[in-house]
Amino acid sequence: MDALRTGRASDPALVTLADLLAGPVLPAARGLLGCRLSVGGVTVRITEVEAYAGTAGDPASHAHRGRTPRNAVMFGPAGHAYVYFTYGMHWCVNVVTGSEGEASAVLLRAGEVVDGLDAARARRPAVRRDVDLARGPARLCATLGIDRSAYGLDLLGDGPVRLRPAAAPVPDTALSAGPRVGVTGAHDMPWRFWITGDPTVSAYRRHVPRRRG
């Protein structure tokens, strides 16, 4: 926790965010809604997230079976980026939460581009509607230009990928919760959170196992 506070005492809102991320994953996930993630001249306001509880009884988590070279950053400290490659083509970014050793993290599922719109459009020229630029975890990373190079970065520092508090907290009355999208275990845990009615929130699709043979 002291490491998270270093150099941030002059910004009480950033210290508050650091404290939130160092706590349990569900409050951290809810608190990330409305926060802003900036990379390479593009800023996205986070509108949808999913929580993953690591080794603590969450079979959908990448850390459920323990530490590996892929998931090592999930084991702490909080506030760092866990970036992974999926389906052989997409990057996804998570914010590590909790005490060191817990391996919990929050997947950033969707957001609204609030700055650098021209740069965002240039990165995704085939997208017709601006609300679709970062609508989904892979699209969010593509719009921001996030890839493996962001793995392990301190998001609360002054590095190339910066997470900053929301201009104003999103009230509980404006939040919704429901099942996570496309996971192969713990299908119905209501650990996905989003800003109710926001057009950038992705569509819900439950995982359907493939038939063999």
**131 phi/psi in degrees, rounded to 5:** -65, -15
Q: Spelled out in words, what is the top-level CATH class assigned to the domain 2-168+181-195? A: alpha beta
Residue 150 pLDDT grade (very low, low, confident, very high; cuts 50, 70, 90):
very high
In terms of Cβ atoms closer than 10 Å to its own Cβ (0-12, 13-18, 19+), residue 1 is middle
**3 phi/psi in degrees, rounded to 5:** -65, -35
Residue 189 pLDDT grade (very low, low, confident, very high; cuts 50, 70, 90):
confident
The reported pLDDT for the residue numbered 5 is: 47
The reported pLDDT for the residue numbered 68 is: 87
Using a pLDDT cut of 90, give the percent of the chain over it. Answer: 69
pLDDT at 56 over 70: no
pLDDT at 10 over 80: no
Q: Which residue has the higher pLDDT, 125 or 68?
A: 125
Residue 11 pLDDT grade (very low, low, confident, very high; cuts 50, 70, 90):
confident
Residue 4 pLDDT grade (very low, low, confident, very high; cuts 50, 70, 90):
very low
pLDDT, tens digit, 9 for 90 and up, residues 96-132 = 999 998 899 999 999 999 999 999 999 999 999 999 9
Q: What is the model's pTM? A: 0.90
Q: Which residue has the higher pLDDT, 118 or 182?
A: 118
Nearest by Cα to 56 from 167, 171, 189: 189
The reported pLDDT for the residue numbered 64 is: 79
Which tokens go with 138?
Answer: 């892979």
pLDDT at 2 over 50: no
* Beta-sheet pairing, 161-164 with 42-52: unpaired
Where on the phi/psi map is residue 197: left (φ > 0), alpha (ψ -120 to 50), or beta? left
Which tokens go with 8?
Answer: 């941030």
Q: Which residue has the higher pLDDT, 136 or 61?
A: 136
String of DSSP letters for the chain? -HHHHTT-TT-HHHHHHHHHHTS-HHHHHHHHTT-EEEETTEEEEEEEEEEE-TTTT-TTSTTTT---TTTGGGGS-TTBEEEEEETTTEEEEEEEESSTTS-EEEEEEEEEEEE-HHHHHHHSTT--SGGGTTBSHHHHHHHHT--GGGTT-BTTTTSSEEEE--SSPPPGGGEEEEPPSS-SSSTT---EEEETT-TTSPPP----PPPP-
Nearest by Cα to 147 from 89, 213, 76, 79: 89
The reported pLDDT for the residue numbered 67 is: 82
Range name among 55-59, 158-162, 163-167, 177-181 with the lowest pLDDT average: 55-59
Residue 108: Cβ within 10 Å count? 28
pLDDT at 204 over 50: yes
pLDDT at 186 over 80: no
The domain spans of the chain are: 2-168+181-195
